[in-house]
Structure 1
Amino acid sequence: MHGTPHTVADVMTRTVVALVRDTVFKDIVKAMGRWHVSALPVVDGDHRVLGVVSEADLLPKEEFREGDPDRYARLRRLSDLSKAGARTAEDLMTAPAVTVRADATLAQAARAMARGKVKRLPVVDADGVLEGIVSRSDLLKVFLRDDEDIAGEVRDQVVAFLFPDPVEPIRVTVRDGVVALTGRVRDTSIVPVAARLVRAVEGVVDVDCALLGPPRRPDLDPDLPGATPAGGADRDLPAPSDSHR
């Protein structure tokens, strides 16, 4: 129903700096500084991703530089101690790497980052060959979408689909990514569905849904003159007399 969602291929960086297994510690630090990145993928001779070296993998060398930790710390941080003595990318990298495919949606990439607790993901093909890098900031680019563009998709893909015959026209306004819906619809049971679908539109920050049902008709007191009894018929009212003709 919605327009085609953006994928990782739409936002990823295709020019990628990668390390090979035997890249030495100082060259890794230099590469990170030169390219202003906090992590670099490690690849084999066929450019398949083997792992990732991040700043967190490098820090133990400085942390434990002045001496060995106590026995408790050694037991608790065996991996960090191993990296403190590492010299090459192969020994430093975290493996296997958390990766993502280019055709994954931005939501799927965001979930992978959250589960892996990483800031950047290598983008690979079906054979694990490196194709690019996607970062947190890349995933947030969708929120730069123009408000009017968002409003147009909400009108065409959500409102027109769910409410083709509203009681009164539904107004869609968007400001800073926040969508507001106002108007009256015939079936209020699908209003929560509308809010959920609008929230799923790319670039939407939040939804203010104020859709109402049809206006209620006041119940007339049957004792009032001119009131129509239940059923709407006037057959119980006395017929007009000749004197009133």
Structure 2
Amino acid sequence: MGELRVAEVMNRTVAAVRRETAFKDVVCALLAAEAGAVPVVDDDGRPIGTVAGAALLTKLEFHGGTDARPIRSGAARVRWHQSSARTAGDLMAGPPESVYGDLTIGRAAARLAESSQPLLCVVGPAMRLVGVLTPSDLLGVYQRSDGSLAAEIRALVDRPPDTVTVHVHHGVVTLAGSLTFRSRTEHATYAVTHVPGVVAVHNNLTYDLDDLAITGF
């Protein structure tokens, strides 16, 4: 299988809203999406921002902006201004984090970790929204069964003349056996760690010849 791409795990059923979408309709879209935010798109379907659940909660926090404005400027003042919002445009943060569907899930995880937004907008060649990617979408790879993981890993590393045994328990992989070259033991670890759903790898493989010492690589 190899490392998955965004297009293979993203949510294609997108509850997008427009800048002029009313507050309550944004709430309904968020609840329907079961995500931490909803994307805002323009008339051509291109993402221009996102509305996070936290921004919607300001309506409750400050009672629709009727509470006194916080004395100090900062995050609380920003939330107070958001609390009087009536449309998605009043609440959205932008520009959105956008990626293409061919990005690896490892790189997508890095983009999410580095972003202040709770989802990535997945776009096509014309930059139109084709899906969204949330942490839940990415973490779904860890639902794979141990049997499924073991079968894929055996196909990767157990090849003649090498003999490798593979054991998987709760996503933790243990490799044992003897390989001809040390480089193949290093490659086995790299390949297995990139299998979607693997939690950790214990490499107990031995080798007959240290080809890395010979080549210097």
Q: TM-score, normalised by structure 1?
A: 0.73
The one-character-per-residue Cα deviations of 1:96-142 (angstroms, maximum 9, x if unpaired) are 01122222222122111111144332221122211122222221222
3-state SS, counterpart of residue 49 of structure 2: strand
1:11–1:23 Cα change, 3 Å = same
8 Å contact kept, 1:154–1:172:
yes
Identity %: 39
Deviation for aligned residue 1:159: 4.3
Residue 79 of structure 2 is matched in structure 1 by 80
1:44–1:142 Cα change, 3 Å = same
Deviation for aligned residue 1:158: 3.2
Residue 149 of structure 2 is matched in structure 1 by 150
1:53–1:173 Cα change, 3 Å = same
Deviation for aligned residue 1:57: 1.6
3-state SS, counterpart of residue 185 of structure 1: strand
**Letter matched to residue 69 of structure 1:** P
Q: Which of 1 and 2 has greater Rg?
A: 1
Q: Please provide the CA RMSD for this pair.
A: 2.4
Structure ranking higher in strand proportion: 2
Q: Which is further off, 39-48 or 183-192? A: 183-192
8 Å contact kept, 2:35–2:134:
no
8 Å contact kept, 1:171–1:183:
yes
8 Å contact kept, 2:17–2:40:
yes
1:170–1:35 Cα change, 3 Å = closer
8 Å contact kept, 2:59–2:84:
yes
3-state SS, counterpart of residue 45 of structure 2: coil
Q: TM-score, normalised by structure 2?
A: 0.81
Of residues 57, 69, 72, the one that matches 1:59 is 57
Confirm or deny that 1:191 pairs with 2:174.
no
1:55–1:48 Cα change, 3 Å = same
Where do 1:1-245 residues align within 5 Å?
A: 3-65=1-63, 66-71=67-72, 74-75=73-74, 79-160=78-159, 164-166=160-162, 169-188=163-182, 190-213=184-207
3-state SS, counterpart of residue 96 of structure 2: coil
8 Å contact kept, 1:159–1:194:
no
* Consecutive unaligned residues in structure 2, runs of 5 or more: 209-217
Aligned residues: 205
1:196–1:116 Cα change, 3 Å = same
The one-character-per-residue Cα deviations of 1:50-109 (angstroms, maximum 9, x if unpaired) are 1000111223333334211123xx145554343233322112101001122222222122
1:76–1:175 Cα change, 3 Å = closer
